[in-house]
Chains A and B, each alone.
Chain A
Amino acid sequence: MPRQTFQEATVAAIAEEMRRDRNVFIMGEDIGPFGGPLKSCQGLWDEFGAEGRVIDTPISEGGFVGAGVGAAFAGKRPIVDLMFLEFLGLVVHQFGLDGGAMHYYSDGKAKIPLVLRAKYGVGPFHGHAYDLHSWLLNVPGVKVVAPSNAADAKGLMKAAIRDDNPVLFLEHMGLYHAGREDVPEGEHVVPLGKAEVKRPGRDVTLVASALMLKRALAAATALAKDGIEAEVVDLRTVVPLDKPTLLASVRKTGRLVVVGEAVKTGSSSNEVVAVVAEEAFAALKAPIARVAPPDVPVPFHGALEKAYLPDAETIARAARRAVTGMN
């Protein structure tokens, strides 16, 4: 099994799907010979550039995401590299409101199989960090994927490309080049809408995705030393939510801590909380807790970033409080 970074696994998935299906192509800013910012498209130009399937676009996010919607409408399976999730506001109309609605409004006659890639997250790059995916929770028809590791990045990217709907594919910059992991070769597809229990436990459920999943796992290790067995659920797909996995875990542990990188108010974490409150209230033995950054813009200095972003310790503290009722 090859060992790859998140970035390498993601690009490998794209290359495999481009080999498998000629309708798949990719476009975005600086993704050609330059290879994409942070090597997001490294190697694709060499293999597919001559066929016109790796397209460098001008700086016009609304225009080229819209062109992705139009190409999908006409039968292609575009992957559009948005570069950074900060640019989501420039394309919500094209990707979300229209792209997400066309299948429904056309009574199933139009399909928009479109993958929108976006880098984000507090990490080594100290910029472009905003986690804004929660904006799309109020837009019907789109899916949101947030892998936490290289193998899932590969499998989820393959599933996203094969999906017939607009899918936002989140690439956390703090995970992007952070070491190599075993990644299955070839036909490794992780279905959209399926969460994974990464660590079983009986006392409290920790729900997270992407970088926060990594920190939730670290928190669970620390909690185990105190005799608290945390069950860690990796959402993997934020929209649509895997309710059965989520509810089964909460029914088992009776306690829920939801961890997210988006600021607290209006975060997608709140949807997880709402689902559990509506459907598993009777199973709860403690108030639900949210661990999230405060409602402030992402800061720059490392010390401020540290104060801003939840870490294993803040997550563990919230879990302990849920289990013991004490701070």
Chain B
Amino acid sequence: MNLGNQTLLDLYRLMVLTRAIDGAIGKEDGHWHGLEGEEATVAGTYHGLAPGDVVAPHYRGSLTAAIAKGADLRRLLAGVFGKATSYNRGRYRSDVCGPAEFGLIGLYSGALGPPLSYATGAALAFKLDAKPNVALAVFGDGTSSRGDCHEAMNLASSLKLPVVFVCQNNQVAISTLAKDRVAGQSVADRALGYGMPGLSVDGNDVLAVHGAVQDAVGRARQGGGPSLIEALTFRASGHFVSDRIETREVKEVAAWKARDPITAFRKRLLADGVATQTLLDGIAAEALRETEAAMAAAKADREPGADVLGANAVYA
């Protein structure tokens, strides 16, 4: 896939913005589920979707998905604190539930797996209405073990629905290592059993991820049915910020940190003459400034009043 320079810079911006947000929330919330090291996978996956597309994101990257779909950073950050200015006015944490008005399906009840079938259902709606939209279902290596994963893929492929499954394989589910509990090791290989294309890509290479996802999205838009992409990456942080338990080898963590996806992409942009150091520094500094300003504003935003509880707002 030949991407224009602007797309490359947009991908870079989304990666550095994702890291800036990760750092900013991590400072405020010890229970933030960080995604340092996974920026290439999330930016590559979520960049370039159309307005009517639906996304059921992995919780690591849900904010990036919302931003890629056009949501406002300040309101998203306000949602981390449950402020009245957030998209749902404090009724749910925005770090795992993006705004529905941007086509984001949240992890409302906290169980991993069901959102794969929600994305599949949205894809069914697109097919019934003959709309050119797609749905994205993004899940981790841990969730790949859920029966929901099997049910969604079997249903989607048997009905040839426009949904793209992306396994954001960061190789660990809280403390459980994928190499110990994902039988057969490859999630992408399962695609063969469902009769759909399956592809394994380097999840720390944003262009590899973006190219694979966009190919699959393009195929789905044209009626070619679902695909499964596995992006192999690494959770450089803990399960959440204040998680001090490490079940992985020290050497392995160090080796993956040395493969930092932002550093790698930056080198590539410089080597290919896409951008100068000054331009990339400027983009990163702007992302940081933008995040800090949004965070300051979000923190100062007002708390919801008891009226937001809305006992009469449960039913539509």
From residue B240, how far is it (CB to closest CB) to chain A in Å?
A: 21
Per the bound structure, the CA–CA distance linking A70 and B119 in Å amounts to 6
| Interface membership of chain B positions 109-126, coded 1 if the CB is closer than 8 angstroms to chain A and 0 otherwise | 101001011111111111
Taking CB atoms, residues of chain A closer than 8 Å to B126 are: 74
B111 touches A25 (CB 8 A): no
B200 in the interface (beta carbon within 8 A)? no
Q: Select B152's contact among A66, A71, A75, beta carbons within 8 Å.
A: A66
A104 in the interface (beta carbon within 8 A)? yes
B89 touches A70 (CB 8 A): no
A94 in the interface (beta carbon within 8 A)? yes
From residue A240, how far is it (CB to closest CB) to chain B in Å?
A: 8
A70 touches B100 (CB 8 A): no
* Interface range on chain A (Cβ under 8 Å from partner): 35 or more
Q: Are A73 and B54 also in contact (CB < 8 A) when A66-B121, A105-B108 are?
A: yes
Closest to B92 in A: A105
Q: Are A110 and B100 also in contact (CB < 8 A) when A62-B114, A104-B91, A105-B106 are?
A: yes
Taking CB atoms, residues of chain A closer than 8 Å to B316 are: 103, 108, 111-113, 164-165
B295 in the interface (beta carbon within 8 A)? no
B178 in the interface (beta carbon within 8 A)? no
Taking CB atoms, residues of chain B closer than 8 Å to A55 are: 124, 159
B148 touches A105 (CB 8 A): no
Q: Select A107's contact among B91, B124, B148, beta carbons within 8 Å.
A: B91
Q: Are A66 and B92 also in contact (CB < 8 A) when A74-B125, A76-B125, A104-B314 are?
A: no
A74 touches B147 (CB 8 A): no
Taking CB atoms, residues of chain B closer than 8 Å to A164 are: 315-316
Q: Select B111's contact among A68, A69, A93, A100, beta carbons within 8 Å.
A: A93
Q: Are A106 and B125 also in contact (CB < 8 A) when A58-B158, A101-B108, A101-B109 are?
A: no
| Interface membership of chain A positions 49-73, coded 1 if the CB is closer than 8 angstroms to chain B and 0 otherwise | 0001101011010111111111111
Q: What are 16 sample pairs from A and B whose C-beta atoms fall under 8 A apart?
A: A52-B128, A57-B155, A63-B152, A64-B151, A66-B114, A67-B121, A70-B105, A70-B118, A71-B125, A73-B105, A74-B122, A78-B121, A98-B109, A103-B316, A141-B314, A165-B316
Per the bound structure, the CA–CA distance linking A35 and B49 in Å amounts to 39
Per the bound structure, the CA–CA distance linking A109 and B75 in Å amounts to 15
Known: A60-B150, A66-B152. 19 other contacts (CB 8 A): A66-B118, A70-B105, A70-B125, A72-B121, A73-B54, A73-B100, A73-B121, A74-B54, A74-B126, A76-B125, A76-B128, A97-B109, A98-B114, A98-B118, A101-B108, A101-B109, A105-B91, A106-B87, A165-B315
- The 10 A-B residue pairs with the shortest CB-CB distance, nearest first, are A70-B121, A66-B117, A63-B151, A67-B121, A74-B125, A70-B118, A164-B316, A97-B109, A60-B151, A106-B100
Q: Select B121's contact among A69, A93, A97, beta carbons within 8 Å.
A: A69
Taking CB atoms, residues of chain B closer than 8 Å to A140 are: 314
Q: Which of A62, A63, A107 has the most chain B CB atoms closer than 10 A to its own CB?
A: A63
A62 touches B121 (CB 8 A): no
B245 in the interface (beta carbon within 8 A)? no
Q: Are A94 and B125 also in contact (CB < 8 A) when A60-B154, A66-B120, A107-B88 are?
A: no
B313 in the interface (beta carbon within 8 A)? yes
| Interface membership of chain A positions 106-125, coded 1 if the CB is closer than 8 angstroms to chain B and 0 otherwise | 11111111000000000000
From residue A136, how far is it (CB to closest CB) to chain B in Å?
A: 13
User: Which of B's residues lie within 8 Å of A, judged by CB?
Assistant: 54, 56, 87-89, 91-92, 97, 99-101, 105-106, 108-109, 111, 114, 116-129, 135, 147-148, 150-152, 154-155, 158-159, 310, 313-316
Per the bound structure, the CA–CA distance linking A78 and B109 in Å amounts to 21
Taking CB atoms, residues of chain A closer than 8 Å to B97 are: 105
A58 touches B155 (CB 8 A): yes
Closest to A193 in B: B315
Closest to A107 in B: B88
A88 in the interface (beta carbon within 8 A)? no
A63 touches B120 (CB 8 A): yes
Per the bound structure, the CA–CA distance linking A109 and B97 in Å amounts to 13
Taking CB atoms, residues of chain B closer than 8 Å to A94 are: 114, 117-118
Closest to B102 in A: A109
B154 touches A63 (CB 8 A): yes
